[in-house]
Structure 1
Amino acid sequence: MSEKRSESTRRQFLKGKSAVDAIGNLGDRIHQELPATEAAGEGTSRTYLVQVSRRAMACDFAVYLNAGKHDAATEHAVEALDLVENIEDQISVYRNRSEVSQLNFVAAKRPVKVNARLFSLLQMARLLYDETDGAFDVTAGPLIKVWGFYRREGKLPSNEALQEALACVGNAHVKLVDATSTVEFNREGVEVNFGGIGKGFALDQCKSLLRSCGVSDFMIHGGNSSVLASGRRAGASEGQGWKVGIRHPSRPERRIAEINLQDRSIGTSGTGTQHFYHQGKKYGHIIDPRSGQPVDGILSTTVVATSAAMADALSTAFYVMGIESTRKYCETHPDVGALIIRTGSKAGVVEIEAIGIADNGWSRVDE
């Protein structure tokens, strides 16, 4: 297919095999899936999903659509994934030319005016930092580096190196001026890293784009750990949206729970895949920004919230905060809930603590 033909087809309604043909040269993957059937009177109705996916932010992003529900929905899904790439170009610390990398290079020397979208993300990060007493902190990059997790090469740092990194951590080092959308760091070595909130933020932006285009029923995920659901899946019963599986923290090939999502998002954090051992002790990649030490005691946290960015950030914060502080947070934020998975009292057994999530909103499936 020629480049001209591909661009022309992309502007048409994309469905079935035409979607595969149209997107094939654009780096996206489109599939149709057959879900479980739903009883409909004497017969059975079958509903299909269209999946559009692309690699971004070091993971696979995917948009799921009810086939045939919205005109040009697949084309709009491609536009949403284009937006994810645009956001990655803006906020990635792994790209030297990104706006965030440039901010980190300069902001300790002078105030830097940033794009409105980036400034709104910095404001959200500051709010979450304050509400979690520093358990979520986008300035924790120096700690991620000193522990070796920035390049996924975990190592035990010296106490001197750890203290130097800690001196550069804390959102109080970041000055935001709302009137001018400028950012300034109060010392050298401070940096911002949106690894704990960036995927969720991208999903929120995708939701806004899709809804503005008239697409109301869809589900998007970024690397499976961040999921946003809008409306409901075709064939779902009244009050049901999209059923989302939660991976078992120590058996990732299995689900441990399922959550029903409708106009909500989830974010999941855990150290099952990023950790190292030193003298028999496990050190995970989730670090308490206040102490500079990796956190243990919890296997994984899954947060349900109206915003995917908030769900992402709070899943990390709750992992750091622990169960009791998480419970107190959810009591004052009724729109937020959590599933905290921890080691049980018996060997090989894991327990799930549900906080702020109704019993009919989730189910355990591994028992």
Structure 2
Amino acid sequence: MNSDLELHTLVVGREAMACRFEVVFNAGEVPHATGLAIDALDLVDSIEERITVYRDSSELAAINAGAGLHWQPVAEDLFELLVHCRKLFDLTGGAFDIASGSLVRAWGFLKRQGRTPSDEELLLARAASGMPLVDLDLEGRRVRFLRPGVELNLGAIGKGWAIDAAIQKLAGDGVASVLIHGGQSSVRAIGVQGPDVPGRRGWRVGLRHPLRPDTRLATITLEKSALGTSGSGTQFFIERGQKLGHIMDPRTGRPSDGVLSATVIAPHAADADALATALYVLGPAGLAQIAPKGGTVAAILVVPARTSGSVQVLTANLDERTLAIQPGTGVEVTRVV
């Protein structure tokens, strides 16, 4: 994600959730913008403290530690997120599954030390993986696991959830135009980038070429919407000449392959992040499922082309007003939906 640099902006950033979060305002437009941005980033920090799997003191860690033994009470907003994650699990046919933490651990990606598990390890991890093993008590706002060893991991939706909360806070503070991103792969924007003049729409962000990280593949205009991109360009390991990335296919228990990057545009950042992960897992066959024709979700899937070094860009629910592919060689574009 790269914002248009020809427009003057005020950017306030901080490290959070293992990446760089930035709040981007139009310069001179919002009084006390720096203070508002700090408050928004403080909110992101507080959410990370609650949902991280890397701190034993987090609410999610407490759930993982106790829900295999007895019912665990859950805060209202976090419980609503868990319920929504179940709906996304159903929508994607299990391609998005927050209850696959045992698989992430078995493959070494929890500690960013990827490795291939033994057959026995993988069998045990798969037996403790999957949302059907998570029981949600809607009336009591409680959760329990139906067998020991289940682990919830919100890594595929947490950044987007935090960004949504920060955007909601800033909008409540009277901010009309702002963009927030986390690690450039999770983005949400409201209002207009630059002066609000006739003909200017939304915020323009760049989509990186998955094979050439310093090259922009496309420009996307976000109008009161969010963008999530999934790919395994940075977290992977090589075994016997095969690249194995950190994005798991919960249905098979193995790392997904065959896709270079998956991008989803949706009204909220949490959904964009989750559905981008699911689309990466599902591949081209999942485009119509993730971004059905005429719906509020759009998608861009980048897969290898037949020619070495070239890519095929598959799009769904996107027109020229929203998506502009950068001219260049080695890029084939196909509109699927």
TM-score in same-fold range (> 0.5):
yes
Q: 1:34 to 1:299 in 2, by over 3 A?
A: closer
- Per the TM alignment, residue 70 of structure 1 is displaced from its structure 2 partner at its CA by 2.4
Alpha-carbon distance in structure 1 between the residues aligned to 2:315 and 2:293: 16
- Per the TM alignment, residue 238 of structure 1 is displaced from its structure 2 partner at its CA by 2.4
Structure 1: tracts of 5 or more residues without a match = 1-32, 37-46
Counting only pairs closer than 5 Å after superposition, residues 162-181 of structure 1 correspond to structure 2 as 162-181=122-141
Alpha-carbon distance in structure 2 between the residues aligned to 1:276 and 1:35: 35
Aligned-partner residue type, residue 106 of structure 1: G
Alignment deviations for residues 297-328 of structure 1 (CA, whole Å, 9 cap, x no partner): 11000100001000000100001111122223
Alpha-carbon distance in structure 2 between the residues aligned to 1:244 and 1:356: 18
Q: Which one of 183, 206, 211 corresponds to residue 166 of structure 2? A: 206
- Per the TM alignment, residue 64 of structure 1 is displaced from its structure 2 partner at its CA by 0.3
Task: Tell me which structure has the larger Cα radius of gyration.
Answer: 1
Identity %: 42
Q: Which one of 316, 322, 325 corresponds to residue 355 of structure 1? A: 316
Question: Within the alignment, does 1:308 sit opposite 2:308 as a pair?
Answer: no
1:262 is matched with 223
Q: Which one of 277, 286, 293 corresponds to residue 247 of structure 2? A: 286
Counting only pairs closer than 5 Å after superposition, residues 1-367 of structure 1 correspond to structure 2 as 35-36=5-6, 48-235=8-195, 238-331=199-292, 334-365=295-326, 367=328
Alignment deviations for residues 221-267 of structure 1 (CA, whole Å, 9 cap, x no partner): 00000010111111365251111011111221221111001100000
Structure 2: tracts of 5 or more residues without a match = 329-337
Q: Say if 2:98 and 2:131, in contact at 8 Å, map to a contact too.
A: yes
Aligned-partner residue type, residue 63 of structure 2: L
Q: 1:333 to 1:195 in 2, by over 3 A?
A: farther
Report SS of the residue matched to 1:359.
coil
- Per the TM alignment, residue 293 of structure 1 is displaced from its structure 2 partner at its CA by 1.3
Q: 1:34 to 1:334 in 2, by over 3 A?
A: closer
Alpha-carbon distance in structure 1 between the residues aligned to 2:294 and 2:53: 31
Q: Say if 2:294 and 2:317, in contact at 8 Å, map to a contact too.
A: no
Alpha-carbon distance in structure 2 between the residues aligned to 1:177 and 1:332: 34
Q: Say if 2:299 and 2:316, in contact at 8 Å, map to a contact too.
A: yes
Alpha-carbon distance in structure 1 between the residues aligned to 2:110 and 2:289: 32
Alignment deviations for residues 88-131 of structure 1 (CA, whole Å, 9 cap, x no partner): 00000001100000110001111111111211111111110010
- Post-superposition, which runs of at least 4 consecutive aligned residues in structure 1 deviate over 6 A? none
- Per the TM alignment, residue 145 of structure 1 is displaced from its structure 2 partner at its CA by 1.1
Q: Structure 2 length as normaliser, TM-score?
A: 0.93
Report SS of the residue matched to 1:322.
helix
Q: 1:345 to 1:116 in 2, by over 3 A?
A: same
Greater relative contact order, per chain length (Cα 8 Å cut-off, separation 6+): 2
Count of aligned positions: 325
Q: 1:239 to 1:180 in 2, by over 3 A?
A: farther
- Per the TM alignment, residue 68 of structure 1 is displaced from its structure 2 partner at its CA by 2.1
Report SS of the residue matched to 2:254.
coil
